[in-house]
A and B are shown apart, each in its own frame.
Chain A
Amino acid sequence: MSTTSAAPPAPLPIRSRRWFARRGSRVAPLKYLGLLLVAIVVLMPVYVLLVTSFKTLTEIDAAHAWSLPSSWTLDAWRQAWDELSPNMANSFKLAIPATLISVVLGSLNGFVLSKWRFPGADVVFTFLLFGMFIPYQAVMIPLTQLFDDANVPTGIPRLVFAHVVYGIPITALIFRNYYATIPDDLLEAARMDRAGMFRTYWSIILPLSAPAFVVAAIWQFTSIWNDFLFAVFLITDPVSWPVTVALNNTTGSLVTPFNLQMAAALLASLPTLLVYILLGRYFMRGLMAGALKG
């Protein structure tokens, strides 16, 4: 996997934005066309969502899915905002800390499992991962009881705790597998320098971790923001419910107001989309020139 040379390797080139742009201009128009087509196909359902959110119930059904509204109305959006905005703050209070803690933890765990291994590291890795597969719906009742018995503070902190715990496997997976692709001799230099675990992590691994952080953060933020199951079971006070429970409640009881649901879903998805766009900048960074000594 990695070359073995006695001398430390030359610093790796930074893939700058210009680097990408230079390559981009040589890209065949065919590739561009393909990407564009896929983008259109991907956005088709979003189009239906949008268009439905501006209609009244009289023209909402399968037959009219593609049609533009005959009369545009903002009612659904107004109502969606009314119903969702009280809970938006809860979702932010939940998703931001939970994501941050979760990815930091994942990075540390992933590092330990791949680059600072201990006897049985692979067993631990499998142990962590396997637990990911339990269908949580089946155990929500004892789960809630367990949280009560463990005296986990109630409300949003409980939900943050839950997401951090249940995010351990996936974040460990993402980081471990990402770090596994980093050549070991990058750490050789640090080891020869007698750097300890945290020094190695801080000066070598962390600077290289940007894409993994992005990928992990995207996953965690999305899962946490969109989670309904844990939110509705672990938080009993409607005042503390995150936006997903409010979104679910737009289902109504007998008649489903499709326009309201679509407007609400789009509204609820905007913060996540913003996260994707913001984090996307860090995607550009590939391997940076490491802080190699000697």
Chain B
Amino acid sequence: MRGVRRWWPGLLLISPSIVLIAVFVYGLIGWNARVSATDWREANKTTNFVGLDVYRELRIDERFSLDLHHLLLFTVTFILGTLLIGGTLALLLDKGVRGEGFFRSVYLFPMAISFIASGIVWRWLMNPAPGDRASGLNVVFEKLHVGGLANQWWQGTNWGAAALAMPAVWALSGYIMALYLAGFRGVPEELREAARMDGASELRVYRHVVFPHLRPVTLAALIILGHISIKVFDLIVAIGGKQLVTEVPAVYMWVLIYDARDYAKGAAIATLLLIGISVLIVPYLIYTVRSERRA
């Protein structure tokens, strides 16, 4: 049992990190929350505490609702797409292939390329021009005789925001693959062997031995993807500029703070994003941590 071990060296070791995060992260979160409860706007010399007024404004803000709608679509597509593709790639590579290093590097490469440039490329690839002006992926679909797949991408009215997730999936799948691959490789081979000797098929081995091991990895992946998604800004602006048709809350937040100088409203969006992600992630975090302890 753990009781005998002295635990305080551990606490001591991690305490600088706790202090740093408390100051440089929570201090700012607090500042931000405070600003969101004021009416600090433009060049107001005096600001007053207005409680939840700014949040009420946001609730009826049509532009913000549009942004949330886009964000939801984007997030779901992004997370599901990346987990699926990254996980599948890791599965394919797990047993080892010739040239694994080559494939790993290829799949990881997109993450290394700045969105300033790849955003432009994706804008071209997802150009919705029809007919003889078709270009990008639409023209590829036509050439491959799957013209029915050609669509309006992110200019599409209802599902457009899901298309915005494609470049993000492209960029992050390689990394999620790496996470899962590390996770797969972390499963003790003897456990797999033991299951095999018990007569389990390879599929069973995966399902009952390997996958349960991967819950922490999936949690890590979800947290990484979730926090990218909530804050996604560079990608959106690189592809779609600052237009309402592609806007997500983080872009609106930037516009409010640095263009419109509506600091309170910008801070409110930041706080809402923070609350939003914690509502989604924290329960899962607690659940995973608890189930690990039980195991």
Contacts and interface: CB of A to CB of B under 8 A. Distances in A.
A25 B21 contact: no
Contacts of A215: 178-179, 182
A57 interface: no
Nearest to A27: B97
Contact of A138 (B97, B104, B190, B253): B253
Contacts of A10: 190
A230 B278 CA distance: 24
B186 A283 contact: no
Contact of B269 (A24, A44, A138, A211): A138
Interface in B251-277: 253-254, 257, 266-267, 269-270, 273-274, 277
B185 interface: yes
Interface stretch (B55-63, B72-80, B215-223): B215-223
Contact of B270 (A35, A135, A169, A176): A135
Nearest to B128: A62
A198 B14 CA distance: 13
A202 interface: no
A128 B213 contact: no
B145 interface: no
B285 interface: yes
Contacts of A162: 24
Prevailing SS type, chain B contact patch: helix
A222 B217 CA distance: 20
Prevailing SS type, chain A contact patch: helix
Contact of A118 (B10, B103, B217, B273): B10
Given A105-B17, A137-B257, A261-B117, A62 B127 contact: yes
Interface string B106-120: 111111111011101
B125 A65 contact: yes
Given A247-B114, A269-B109, A273-B109, A48 B125 contact: yes
B21 A138 contact: no
Contacts, number: 314
Contacts of B253: 135, 137-138
Given A13-B189, A126-B282, A137-B233, A45 B122 contact: yes
Interface in B146-182: 167, 170, 173-175, 178-179, 181-182
A170 interface: yes
Interface residues of B, number: 110
B32 A139 contact: yes
A164 to B, nearest CB: 8
Interface of B: 2, 4-11, 13-14, 17-18, 20-21, 23-29, 31-32, 85, 89, 92-93, 95-98, 100-101, 103-114, 116-118, 120-125, 127, 129, 133, 135-136, 139-140, 167, 170, 173-175, 178-179, 181-183, 185-190, 213, 216-217, 219-220, 223-224, 226-227, 230-231, 233-234, 250, 253-254, 257, 266-267, 269-270, 273-274, 277-278, 281-282, 285-286, 289, 292, 295
The 4 closest A-B pairs by CB, nearest first: A265-B117, A20-B96, A131-B25, A138-B270
